[in-house]
Amino acid sequence: MPGAPGSERTPPRAGLGSRIHAWVLAHLGVRYERMVADRKRALFAGLGGNVLEIGPGTGPNLVYYPSGIRWLGVEPNPYMVPYLKASAVRAGLPVDLRSGTAERLPAENNSMDTVVSTLVLCSVSDPEGVLREIRRVLKPGGRFLFLEHVAAPPGTRLRRVQTAIRPLWKIIGDGCHPDRETGVTIERAGFAQVRYENFRLPLGPVATQIAGFAVK
């Protein structure tokens, strides 16, 4: 079965971009976290049971999770691991961290109450495949919680800038696409319900963002 626990994996490749990305998130992500703190508190309110987080990075979401959850994280960038473990200690949260990608999740079918993604779908190699995996592992009625930067509306100056800088941005952002229409992709992924809000932050090419949930 795809993604079954205990299946053998080839460790993800990590290069200079991955190392730089981990350092940037660990040392320069504080400003962003302050800007989205209230949204994250609202988004993660009421979490319980089995929670799978894809691309947890340096662990900024751990402080929002209640102590009673069973947390599983799937992280492809090995340079994130020391930062995430330190965040888990500060949050007092036991973590089960696996090396892997969101395209092949190490969880059984219908086993997760919640799947969390924050600033991840911009950089996965197959967004549609990742969303299929998320639907596979969620229990019926389970929720996918997301906060992502997305493409600006077509025809806008910001959209043109996002598209123009995409090749360089992917290199410095460890595969990040600044112009992905992630909201539309989630809407078309086959969830029973999808709700999210659009908002803007003073973050240049990644100013346009969404936050919301989808129900299996």
What crossing angle do the helices spanning 30-43 and 16-28 adopt, rounded to 10°?
A: 80
The CA–CA distances, whole Å, from 141 to 17, 104, 144, 204 equal 37, 21, 10, 36
| DSSP structure class, residue 213 | E
What values do phi and psi take at 215, rounded to 5?
Answer: -115, 135
pLDDT of residue 18: 72
Please check whether residue 115 is in contact with residue 49, taking contact to mean a CB–CB distance below 8 angstroms: no
Q: What is the mean pLDDT of residues 85-92?
A: 94
Q: Is residue 91 pLDDT above 50, yes or no?
A: yes
Q: What is the mean pLDDT of residues 157-184?
A: 93
pLDDT of residue 128: 98
Please check whether residue 135 is in contact with residue 189, taking contact to mean a CB–CB distance below 8 angstroms: yes
Using pLDDT thresholds of 50, 70 and 90, give the confidence band for residue 11. very low
Q: What is the mean pLDDT of residues 141-161?
A: 98
* pTM of the predicted protein model: 0.89
* pLDDT over 90, % of the chain: 78
pLDDT, tens digit (0-9, with 9 covering 90-100), for 28-37: 678 999 999 9
Domains of the chain: 16-215 (3.40.50.150)
pLDDT of residue 3: 36
Q: Is residue 209 pLDDT above 90, yes or no?
A: yes
